[in-house]
Chain A
Amino acid sequence: MSPGPVRGATPNRRLGSVRGVSVLSPPGRRARPSAPETSRLSSAAREELRRRLLDLIEGHRVVIFSKSYCPHSARVKELFSSLGVECNILELDQVDNGASVQEVLSEITHQNTVPNIFVNKVHVGGCDRTFQAHQSGLLQKLLQEDPAYDYDLIVIGGGSGGLACAQEAAILGRKVMVLDFVAPSPQGTSWGLGGTCVNVGCVPKKLMHQAALLGQALTDSRRFGWEFSQQVKHNWGTLTEAVQTHVGSLNWGCRLSLREKAVAYVNAHGEFVEHHKVKATNGKGQKTCYTAAKFVIATGERPRYLGIQGAKEYCITSDDLFSLPYCPGATLVVGASYVALECAGFLAGLGLEVTVMVRSVLLRGFDQEMAERLGSSLERLGVRFLRKFVPVAVLQLQKGSPGKLKVVARSTEGPETVEGVYNTVLLAIGRDSCTKGIGLEKIGVKINEKNGKIPVNDMEQTNVPYVYAVGDVLEGKPQLTPVAMQAGKLLARRLFGGCLEKCDYVNVPTVVFTPLEYGCCGLSEERAAQEYQRENLEVYHTLFWPLEWTVACRDNNACYAKIICNKFDNERVVGFHILGPNAGEITQGFAAAMKCGLTKRLLDDTVGIHPTCAEVFTTLEITKSSGLDIMQKGC
């Protein structure tokens, strides 16, 4: 789904002085008049600046550190312009941290004068050295594309983020390779190109969610006058086949799209063996090495297993569920992540008996009021919750498709244990980054040892300047497909397109596709209270009864809308939450509005679209602090 006219197709490679500011200033600082500046850089700031400078040098063919009034600088600029070579010029007298730049630059080059010239990552020197190089022919040699590497960019991991980055780099004319290899799950499930979202995430999940919604639609439709036989059954095989057919077509689409853009795709596991070099091992164990100037790690995550008896042998995860060759039957879902609740929701919606075992809270990190309301909506659908229990052993009672498993669970609050018999146990207790076994230690890329995630700066750059990371492997970033895609695309544009736009990780909307969908954008009530103090917030909320639910005689107090406003900033909306049908579709536009600085007043001034669920946000009147009743009457 790409908008018609492609923007940014002709990259502006010139780094003007104004742009230089945004490259080189720490975030949040604005240009000050360029008074002579004494350097007071902390070591962290120095390190960051150094990284940015290296990035600038690495990322561009010609970089000239210059001063706008310097005649030597002007001569060098003329020289390159006469050679028809585009340069990236940073005028140190026009950026606010020019003095610091010059200081760090002299550490890198042992030259503290301008101009200071780099060609294809090689430090050429000042004005005289550049003209000498031009006369000797060295400059022309340096200007030729660096022949040392096989590729400009190798992306490890063919998921949403990696593919977006690879394709954008290819569109910008770079030579790009994607390495993608799916290690089979403990149950032996494997899949094609496209990563988690396409194969074992958003896409099959949303389709199964849709199947469950259609089940509800079948029930509703009778109230709306449709007549058909009482006997309605669901066929798991038909569903998984349809889902997998679609997934297969997407795999194919990914490959086709790479081929069209001349991105080399190798179905092999990539592992760094030395700087700028990866070893690719394919399914048959054949090994090939490739080199590249830059690398992007986009290996994503895989479901975590419990270290308990029987987990790997008998349990499945979301990696297996969407292509499970048999109906899972009575299912125990372990965990309360959104993956857990979504799976529990659609399995229940398909008519299966579902139990969710929760160690502590539902949807950690999400608004807890919303999480609890969502939990209740699942309960009303027949999902059973076992709170404050963790499984300690899974035993097979009977083989089969599905078989019978006994699960022993222990209370988190005491010695109590419970046992239950299920056909299927689905683990959804979290996901681990795929950052082990890819040779990061060989080239010194730091990972967070606790969670395996890769820390990056706001340019998605790791501590090794030519290595970047996008997607779920990132530390402290939202784990969402569109975010990874956006980050990957912008990264490629920065690396190869002379573009400076960074990925904005704030106010990213997200939706939990449980049968009653939950959409949110911005802060949870808990987080808002931390950031703004509870007394500075006003929370408006209401229950609502979708019109379509009235005739269908569905619950009149299940759907809920809430906004969190900052009283002292014009009642600016800092959190948006909706639990109701089509929450996904509703949230998108409101997220756009939040980017534009949505306030309560603007909501009030907007005419509702009648009759929809979304219009409830234009008539929110009851504050939580008033304690007024928000129950809807009727039916």
Chain B
Amino acid sequence: MAHLLRSRVPTWPPPPRGPSGHTHQEHDTGQQCYDLLVIGGGSGGLACAKEGTRWGLGGTCVNVGCIPKKLMHQAALLGGSLHDASHFGWEVAQPIRHDWRKMAEAVQNYVKSLNWGHRVQLQDRKVKYFNFKASFVNKHTVCGVSKGGKETLLSAEHIVIATGGRPRYPTHIEGALEYGITSDDIFWLKESPGRTLVVGASYVALECAGFLTGLGLDATVMMRSVPLRAFDQQMASLVTNHMASHGTRFLRGCIPLKVERLSDGQLQVTWVDLASDRKDTGTFDTVLWAVGRVPETGSLNLEKAGVWNSPDTQKILVDAQEATSVPHIYAIGDVAEGRPELTPTAIMAGRLLARRLCGQSSDLMDYDNVPTTVFTPLEYGCVGLSEEEAVARHGEDSVEVYHAYYKPLEFTVPERDASQCYIKVVCLREPPRLVLGLHFLGPNAGEVTQGFALGIK
């Protein structure tokens, strides 16, 4: 998520079973040579690098996106608890208000402490870290440019591209870049974003709009078509119904046309309703773009190494081994085509790749049955196939869906609306009715889903 591409270059420790045995050495050319070169310091890259240096001690990788997001989600949930508390006998005098500054400072301090912890971990594991902007020179060589402009050539037997993605700015929209922010910025705002327009329908969009609403801010989500594309659509609409009933506003079927700054500093957004072709405007304090992510492949000079990427998405094409069109160059995480954009998936893929490269295991990453949770105010956890995908793969007649609405006991006393608390299990109809997908919408969905993910595997 940082602005510079960073390279982290690990060296193998003296064998147990390093593939080539040679460690970091200077060649005649002055070029540094490594066993494994990882370009990109996100979750997947770090996991790969750390695993490469010491078997059995793969640590938790922390993504600065998930962590602050979940903490702000928690802040919003606590707002709900404050409301519930009075029903359970707690006498809290009004007014209750939320101080963004205080929350943001606490969250940012925690994230900073993690960043520091990460560097220490890498040093512990003999991973050499360079703050370089990297680009390929040829199949085995990468040129790193430091902040000061100094160039270093690095070569390695295996190269892993894990440069991830960055939030996309819709640069064709006037004012998007000047006045808009992305999820890279929202968690680091010192001041409350105030009245916010979130553009997009990804989980990032809904999560951000959800916690902003929960913190008492006025939040509007503008989306072109359906929310949470690729997720189960029945669940997705329950998620947005819940948000709408808790105060998030939705502008469906709309696309923004321009963003202007008014004299009082507010942002005026003009959009068009695609169905009626009618234009409308609204004023906001903050415009947050959550319209997807673009892979960081542009400056890598992939063509010099012969690595192919998709002309549409710019993402790198990979096989089940995570190998690119060049067998010793791999790509993991958000930068790879067709992979779920999820932190733990990238971590696991990175770890498994490193183990394969060291010859410690031949296990491939299982990209099906990856459990995930959308931390909207009512959490949505799922693993396996969506109903749509199950029907597409097995046919309508072969799929049976068991489902139930339920009311959490804790919702009864504060008279919370439970009309979106819902569980769905998508199975094959033939006994033993193999479970293809499990979907859970309700409090603590993240915690609930984890165990069931094991059962589905």
Q: Which residues of A does B touch, CB under 8 Å?
A: 1-5, 203, 206-207, 210-211, 214-215, 217-218, 220-221, 223-229, 231-239, 242-243, 245-246, 249, 350, 547-548, 550-551, 582, 585-593, 595-596, 598, 602-603, 605-615, 617-619, 621, 634
Contacts and interface: CB of A to CB of B under 8 A. Distances in A.
> Which are the 5 A-B pairs with shortest beta-carbon distances?
A589-B451, A225-B103, A614-B450, A239-B89, A593-B454
B89 A612 contact: no
Contacts, number: 231
B146 interface: no
B89 A238 contact: yes
Nearest to A210: B410
20 contacts: A207-B409, A207-B410, A221-B79, A224-B71, A224-B106, A232-B90, A232-B92, A237-B89, A242-B89, A246-B412, A547-B70, A592-B452, A602-B454, A608-B347, A608-B450, A610-B342, A612-B447, A615-B450, A619-B60, A634-B117
B116 to A, nearest CB: 11
Interface residues on B, range: 35 or more
B451 A613 contact: no
Contacts of B264: none
B148 interface: no
B90 A585 contact: no
A436 B410 CA distance: 36
Interface string B434-457: 000000000010111111111101
Contacts of B401: 4
B392 interface: no
Given A234-B91, A611-B67, A612-B450, 5 more contacts: A211-B90, A218-B85, A228-B82, A588-B452, A608-B344
A179 B103 CA distance: 56
Interface stretch (B236-244, B278-286, B363-371): B363-371
Contacts of A211: 85, 88-90
Contact of B402 (A5, A350, A587): A5
A53 B79 CA distance: 61
B222 to A, nearest CB: 27
Contacts of A548: 70-71, 74
Nearest to B367: A607
Nearest to A598: B454
A510 to B, nearest CB: 14
B63 to A, nearest CB: 8
Interface stretch (B93-101, B124-132, B179-187, B311-319): B93-101
B113 A634 contact: yes
Contacts of B75: 221, 224-226
B291 interface: no
Nearest to A202: B409
B404 interface: yes
B248 interface: no
Contacts of A245: 413
Contacts of A593: 451-452, 454-455
B400 interface: yes
A210 B410 CA distance: 7
B199 to A, nearest CB: 25
B94 to A, nearest CB: 8
Q: Which of A232, A237, A614 has the most chain B CB within a 10 Å cutoff?
A: A614
Contact of A596 (B74, B102, B215, B455): B455
A1 B56 CA distance: 42
A610 B451 contact: no
Q: At the interface, is chain A mostly helix, strand, loop or mixed?
A: helix
Nearest to A249: B412
Contacts of A224: 71, 74-75, 78, 103, 106
A603 B371 CA distance: 13
A180 to B, nearest CB: 22
Nearest to A216: B81
B246 interface: no
A567 to B, nearest CB: 17
A221 B454 contact: no
A590 B447 contact: no
B341 to A, nearest CB: 13
Q: Which of B63, B372, B444 has the most chain A CB within a 10 Å cutoff?
A: B444
B403 interface: yes
B213 interface: no
A242 B447 CA distance: 28
B373 interface: yes
Given A226-B79, A614-B451, A5 B400 contact: yes
Contacts of A217: 78, 81-82, 85
Nearest to A243: B413
B403 A235 contact: no
B320 interface: no
B381 interface: yes
B27 to A, nearest CB: 37
Contact of A207 (B215, B413, B448): B413
B92 A585 contact: no
A44 to B, nearest CB: 35
A31 B214 CA distance: 61
Contacts of B342: 607, 610
Nearest to A238: B89
Contacts of B188: none
A550 B452 CA distance: 27
A221 B88 contact: no
Contact of B97 (A227, A233, A238, A243): A227
B93 A228 contact: yes
B97 to A, nearest CB: 5
Contact of B371 (A4, A590, A607, A611): A607
A232 B90 CA distance: 7
A618 B406 CA distance: 28
A334 B446 CA distance: 37
A4 B90 contact: no
A143 to B, nearest CB: 34
Nearest to B405: A1
A619 B106 contact: no
Contact of B98 (A4, A227, A615): A227
A596 B457 CA distance: 10
A235 to B, nearest CB: 5
A233 B447 contact: no
A598 B454 CA distance: 8
A608 B211 CA distance: 23
B107 interface: yes
A228 to B, nearest CB: 4
A3 B403 contact: yes
Contacts of A610: 63, 66, 342-344
